[in-house]
């Protein structure tokens, strides 16, 4: 049985509140294919997990659309809900956590929504900021090794492990431009 089928079956069992069976199938999937696919995620039946889903980690607060391809060693994680202090609650209790529920997560849960036709390359990390929704638009492509923490517009391509803005070359600058000096450090 493929990792996709095991995952979809575990999701179906979780929807019917057969949590123990869903957990057992998740553990079997993890043992056979070295992945961690949460049974609570919403997944289209035509999802493709490349290389037998080797090293893929997906949290339960993820929605995956139709015709999505996810390659190996991808992590899709939706962080915890934003913490909010309750009005009138004491700052600490006997256990140091405050009144009952004061340290509990109060805000909306983080989510990741992957729309139809998205391709996610190998070794990608997608992290939804705490208490918000991260959306990857329809037909988007995420390049291998990319670290993603913000929305991706439909049809776009995102690459880079640590995204940064590079300044444009000034007019007339080319290969003749002087290279910046590199600072040298002494070896101890």
- pLDDT of 118 strictly over 90: yes
pLDDT at residue number 94: 44
Check whether 29 has a pLDDT greater than 60: yes
Separation CA 53–CA 8 (nearest Å) = 13
**pLDDT reading at 178 higher than 70:** no
Query: Could you tell me if 112 and 95 are in contact, meaning their C-beta atoms sit under 8 angstroms apart?
Result: no
How confident is the model at residue 98, as a pLDDT? Answer: 44
More confident residue, 133 or 182: 133
CA torsion angle 54 58 60 65 (round to 10): -100
- Per-residue confidence (pLDDT) for residue 164, from 0 to 100: 63
What CATH number does the domain located at 36-158 have?
2.160.10.10
Cβ-based neighbour number of residue 124 at 10 Å:
22
Higher pLDDT, 1 or 142: 142
3-state secondary structure 87-141: CCCCCCCCCCCCCCCCCCECCCCCEEEECCCCEECCCCEEEECCCCEEEECCCCE
Domain ranges of the chain: 36-158
Report pLDDT digits (tens) over 124-177: 999 998 889 999 999 999 999 999 999 999 999 999 876 566 666 676 665 555
Prediction pTM value: 0.73
108 vs 130: CA distance, rounded Å = 9
CA 83 to chain centre: 20
Each residue of 51-105: pLDDT tens digit?
A: 999 999 999 999 999 999 999 999 999 877 666 655 554 544 444 444 444 455 5
Taking the CB of residue 127, how many other CB atoms lie within 10 A of it?
18
Who wins on pLDDT, 85 or 38? 38
């Amino acid at each position: 049985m493929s990792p996709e089928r095991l995952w979809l079956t575990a999701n179906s069992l979780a929807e019917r509140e057969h949590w123990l069976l869903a957990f057992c199938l998740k553990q079997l999937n993890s043992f056979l294919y070295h992945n961690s696919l949460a049974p609570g995620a919403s997944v289209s039946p035509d999802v493709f997990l490349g290389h037998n889903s080797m090293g893929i980690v997906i949290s339960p607060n993820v929605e995956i659309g139709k015709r999505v391809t996810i390659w190996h060693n991808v992590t899709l994680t939706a962080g915890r809900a934003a913490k909010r202090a309750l009005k009138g609650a004491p700052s600490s209790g006997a256990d140091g956590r405050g009144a009952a529920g004061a340290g509990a997560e109060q805000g909306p849960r983080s989510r990741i929504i992957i729309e139809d036709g998205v391709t996610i390359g190998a070794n990608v990390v997608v992290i939804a900021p705490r208490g918000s929704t991260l959306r990857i638009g329809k037909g988007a492509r995420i390049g291998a090794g990319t670290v993603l923490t913000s929305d991706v517009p439909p049809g776009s391509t995102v690459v880079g492990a640590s995204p940064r803005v590079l300044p444009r070359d000034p007019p007339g600058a080319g290969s003749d431009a002087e290279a910046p000096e590199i600072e040298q450090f002494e070896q101890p």
